[in-house]
Structure 1
Amino acid sequence: MPQDNLSVSLDTILLHLGPFGKFNIVNYALLLFPIYLAGMYGSVFVFEAPDLSYRCAVDECESTLNHSLWLPHALPQEKGVPSKCRRYSMNETVYTSNSTCSVDSFDSSYSVECNSFVYSDEDSAVKDFNLACQNWKRTLIGTVHNAGLFVSLPLTGIISDRYGRKLALSIASLMNGVFGFLRSFSVNYTMMLVLEFLEAGLGAGAYSTAFVIAMELVGPKGRVFGNTLINGVYVLGLMTLAGLSWRLQSWRHLLQIIYAPAVLVFSYIWLLNESVRWLLSKGRNNEAIVILKKAAKMNNVELSEQLLYPLNDVQKTDKPTEESEADQSKEQKGTESTFARVIKSRIIRKRVFVCSFLWITCTFVYYGLSINSVSLAGNKYVNFMLVGFVEIPANIVCLLILDRYGRKRTLVSMYVLSALLCISLSLVPKDLKWLSLILYLSGKFSITVAYSSVYIYVSEVFPTSVRQSLLAVCSSLGRVGSTLAPLTPLLALYYANLPAIFFGSLALMASLLVFTLPETLNLPLPDTIEEAEMLSTVKREKPTVE
């Protein structure tokens, strides 16, 4: 039986089972745990190496008790505040080793770079590894973390599409737990960077895998609600991260507490049900039928033999004829290289490019706003929580409008709105901090709606046989944005509003590219490349507003 008929049959069965019966609730509960952890892991570097207060150590005077007399005169002023990285040289004609430091002890006509530093009592890897005045090293920690996703997402995608979703999720979560926990014992900066890369490079695919399983678990009507639930739990992870950081005030203890539970997800190899849609795409129909019957029993629903007949019929008619063997051989060759299959389809190639750019924009703006939130006036932990909390109403709005107005309208509107809000930040006077905060939160709100929509949209335009692989390609290329986002605070050193202008410009470009993509509202997930290509030719009425 053709694969497209299997898809129609499965969607009919899922509709009969209901979008969120007991079976779905149990499986979603299992999937939401690694997603909750991923909410903490994605931004933990913000609290591993936050900038903190420090100044040059004036070794000649530190042992004296009259700091208030000499310290203001030991450091040059930069932009109205004492320099953190330079100090005045000693006036040798006045200063002697046995004298008390005073105003006259320093030569204010000549400053030098600091050799050592005095740090505040705040906890940070900056203090532990003496990274003062090396902002590039501090921000590189986040960049290295996100660079690991270039390895993790394709690798996890290959494992997921070839060997199964739950195996990929279990292995990725185990890698998160092992390398994240070990990172808390880093003895130097290099060790921290290596473990940062390995943890993300081998474990960051856990979120995308859990997301794909969740999307394949329900029919078209349940995807948006499922996505909203996933994103809400992810936000709880973000807020938990800020709360734990505030409470613990120790980046090492923070890593130990949040990464240890990830090891438990390895048990999903035995606890979690495999994706039925993936099993069908691999011809393992008997296993798929067993899971569907289990779901029906848990949901107190009876599946008739008529509903299951198309799946059983495949097993009965799948005889080892020369023709079928040739078809299987051809199919195996086609699945050997996801990249090769994509290259042959001009429509899919274009889709991969556009979806990747949409992802770059979302990750760059989304993570950029989150990371720069700790630089806003006020408590950095509260600011981070607020920027995270605004994602909850954003995802509720996403739930309300995606199935009402369609994917394309939502994406275009949110990208344009995000661009206007971010660019507006550069026009607000510095003394209107309340207005800046409102615009900042509104910008995060709109890009969150766009990001949630992109996740759903990308899962709907690619076929089941290579869905996670292509989602991983788009997500991996999209991580260019999240890799560059930790560096945006450096732009603010040159011009405070430069990051916001970058965010807005990229969002405007993304809004234009959305027009080249098809609408997928209420369409079944495509199971073959041919079905995915047909999405661009489907003529459909505009979404009606009730």
Structure 2
Amino acid sequence: MGKDIGLDAILKELGPFGRYNIINYALLLFPIYLAGMYGSVFVFEATDVNYRCNVSECEHLDNNAWLNNAIPKENDELMKCKRYGPKNYSGEACSLDAFDRSTILPCDQLVYSDEDSAVVDFNLGCQDWKTRLIGAIHNSGLFISLPLTGIISDKYGRKLALSVASLMNGVCGVIRSFSVNYPMMLAFEFLEAALGAGAYSTAFVIAMELVGPKGRVFGNTLINVLYVMGLMSLSGFSWWFQSWRTLLRVIYTPAIFVISYLWILNESVRWLLSKGRHQEASAILKKAAKMNKVDLSDQALAPLYELDKLGVGDGDEKGNVPNEVKDDKEQSNFKKVLQSSIIRKRVLVCSFLWITCTFVYNGLSINSVLLAGNKYVNFMLVAFVEIPANFVCLLVLDKFGRKKVLVTTYVLSACLCMSLSFVPKDQKWWSLFLFLCGKFSITVAYSSVYIYVSEVFPTSARQSLLAICSSVGRVGSTMAPLTPLLKSYYHNLPAIAFGSLALLASLLVFTLPETINIPLPDTIEEAEMLSRRKKTNEFT
């Protein structure tokens, strides 16, 4: 399409990161930084705390020497949810002989340590499934938010979708901090994600459409580094405040102010062109050229002027397209997507790649707080390793291509995760090392998938299709918070599950086209041509 060629030529003249790009990227990086905290906040909202059975007949004693008499041990530690049955004993209260050690009973009541957690506030001790359900409910909201935000973004504009989603993040997150019971907390976990989690994907799409092919990988790296900084900040704030309610109020309040982006953020030029709003797109490009101190050549702008003269998009004198024409065009595009076997297959494969990334990525992060040592430090380390992983992604994607990087990192992730099964339990540092390496490799894969999926779908439906893949992929992130429950069956079962899925994903990558240095396709026909073109620099 002429407009695609013209836009990429203009973006090349503007430069990948001039003043205009830097300002807009800075605006986009703020909600992305916040999204880094919001995606994993449930890990610290309902963090595990120490608790034990309430042994009413002994609680009045000043010392705790009786605990070994009243509570059985497992792996040299007092059991959290069991106690020995009492005897009718007239001797010394709470002595060894005061309890029937052949009878082990579940707790009637619990005594919690002096720690802050929703587990304490809502009495969730000995109900691990309820604790894990918080994360699953939060991530299940993504099944709604990503398609919903994608539809709003593709139909009404990127900046509207971003602003509204961020506002919903802030409002629902702050309200959740005032939860008076467990059901209220679950409800707002779901609503916050369902109405606001699409802010990240929207900001990502705007960022990818802001630069040309050569700038996408570096832009993607910036985005991922800020997301990681959000993850690390989450752990730091949790460690500092030691109060889950205060934590929520501090991190969610800033999201409310992103609604101001409706007035200060520029709309995506590529989206405006896809809607036939050529004059608005031209005005933004001229503004960008002025800010970047670049003189755009008439030759570069010519395709936009020609489209405007021809009335492409059936717009009015301002380049706006009537709603009836927009709706017909969008329905036509959607029908073409459904009719294209190439695009359908691509959506299915990309969705599975996303499931694998979210399952392994989130699973490793969540299980890191269960490792020996300081849970905040462990979480920070597992998050921090994403920064070098993203810079490695920057170096290898444009050098080796998307497919080689994806296959290599999926296989490496599988091997590292499965190797955890062979590490003895007392080798805690080796476990942490393998966790870090596994997180490193799956982060490279995740970053590659995000940029790859944005390159294989057309502009007219890019965010909607990306949202479909991402929302289906959230099956993985919804199941990830439940993986600690697998440890009750076999200690390394979560790691085996991570590795198995990664191996299967590596095989499916072979069915997809290479997109290195290819302009973003604007139409479904152009997207289909990616699979039909002569295959070079690929495995297949």
Coarse TM-score class (shorter-chain normalised): over 0.9
Which of 406, 416, 425 is the aligned partner of 2:420? Answer: 425
Distance in 2 between the 1:425 and 1:510 partners? 20
Q: Are residues 1:91 and 2:91 paired?
A: no
Contact 1:352 1:470 in 2 (8 A): yes
Paired amino acid for 1:456? I
CA contact (8 A) 2:333 2:460 kept: no
**Residue equivalent to 2:25:** 28
Matched, 1:348 2:343: yes
Correspondence for 2:475 among 457, 477, 480: 480
Is 2:511 the partner of 1:516?
Answer: yes
TM-score (norm 1): 0.95
**Pairs within 5 Å for 1:430-509:** 430-509=425-504
Q: Report whether the alignment pairs 1:184 with 2:180.
A: no
Q: Is the 8 A contact 2:487 2:493 kept in 1?
A: yes
| Structure 1 contact 56–84 (Cα < 8 Å) conserved | yes
- CA shift, 1:316, in A, is 1.3
Q: Within the alignment, does 1:136 sit opposite 2:129 as a pair?
A: yes
Which piece of structure 1 moves more, 103-112 or 401-410? 103-112
Aligned length: 532
1:301 and 2:301 equivalent? no
User: What is the SS of the residue equivalent to 2:296?
Assistant: coil
CA contact (8 A) 1:157 1:209 kept: yes
Once the two structures are overlaid, the 10-residue window that deviates more, 85-94 or 357-366, is: 85-94
Q: Determine if the alignment matches structure 1 residue 57 to structure 2 residue 54.
A: yes
- C-alpha distance in 2 between matches for 1:319 and 1:515: 38
> What SS class does the counterpart of residue 103 from structure 2 fall into?
strand
Q: 8 Å contact 1:64–1:101 — kept in the other structure?
A: no
Contact 2:69 2:94 in 1 (8 A): no
- Paired residue secondary structure (1:536): helix
1:248 equivalent in alignment to 2:244: no
Residue type of the alignment partner of 2:500: S
Cα offsets for 1:500-533 (capped at 9, x unmatched): 1100000000000000000000000000111100
1:120-145: CA deviation from partner (whole Å, max 9, x where unpaired)? 11211000100000000000000000
The alpha carbon displacement at 1:90 in A equals 1.5
Describe the superposition over 1:386-423 as per-residue Cα deviations: whole angstroms up to 9, x where unpaired: 00000000000000000000000000000000001111
Question: The residue matched to 1:108 in structure 2 has which SS?
Answer: strand
Cα distance in 1, alignment partners of residues 440 and 396 from structure 2: 14
Cα distance change, pair 286–360 in 1 and its aligned pair in 2 (3 A): same
Q: Which residue of 1 aligns with 2:318?
A: none
Partner amino acid for 1:51? D
Amino acid at match of 2:67: L
Which of 49, 70, 77 in structure 1 is aligned with 2:73? 77
Match of 2:223 in 1: 230
Kept after mapping to 2: 8 A contact 1:334/1:341: no
Instruction: Look up the equivalent residue of 1:83 and give its one-letter code.
Output: M
Tell me the equivalent position of 1:264: 257
1:305, CA displacement in angstroms? 2.4
> Hey, what does 1:324 align to over in structure 2?
none
SS in 1 for 2:13: helix
SS in structure 1 of the partner of residue 20 of structure 2: helix
70-79 vs 530-539, which deviates more?
70-79
Identity of aligned residues (%): 70
Following the alignment from structure 1 to structure 2, what is the Cα–Cα distance between the partners of residues 470 and 447? 23
Is residue 45 of structure 1 aligned with residue 45 of structure 2?
A: no
Summarize the alignment of residues 163-242 of structure 1 with structure 2, pairs less than 5 Å apart.
163-242=156-235
Cα distance in 1 between the residues matched to 2:198 and 2:415 = 32
Give the CA deviation at 1:104: 2.0
Q: 1:114 to 1:316 in 2, by over 3 A?
A: same
The CA distance in 2 between the partners of 1:440 and 1:339, in whole Å, is 41
Residues 533, 319 of structure 1: alpha-carbon distance in 2 compared, 3 angstrom cutoff: closer
Q: In the aligned structure 1, how far is the partner of 2:187 from the partner of 2:282?
A: 44
8 Å CA contact 1:377, 1:433 repeated in 2: yes
CA distance in 1, matches of 2:129, 2:323: 53
Shift of 1:433: 2.0
Q: Distance in 1 between matches of 2:448 and 2:217?
A: 9
Matched, 1:365 2:360: yes
Partner of 1:405: 400
Give, in whole Å, the separation in 1 of the partners of 2:348 and 2:189: 28
Q: 1 CA distance for matches of 2:201 and 2:485?
A: 30
Q: Which segments of 5 or more consecutive residues in structure 2 lack a partner in the other structure?
A: 315-321
1:257 deviates by 0.3
CA distance in 1: counterparts of 2:115 and 2:461, whole angstroms? 47
Cα separation, partners in 2 of 1:65 and 1:100, compared to 1, 3 Å: farther
Correspondence for 2:12 among 8, 11, 15: 15
- Summarize deviations over 1:132-160 as a string: whole Å, max 9, x none: 00000000000000000000000000000
Q: In 2, Cα distance between the equivalents of 1:129 and 1:328? A: 49
Q: Structure 1 runs of 4+ off > 6 angstroms? A: 327-331
What secondary structure, in the 3-state scheme, does the structure 2 residue paired with 1:492 have? Answer: helix
The offset of 1:295, in angstroms, is 0.2
Secondary structure of the corresponding residue to residue 130 of structure 1: coil
Deviation at 1:337, TM superposition (A): 7.4
Residue type of the partner of 2:288? A
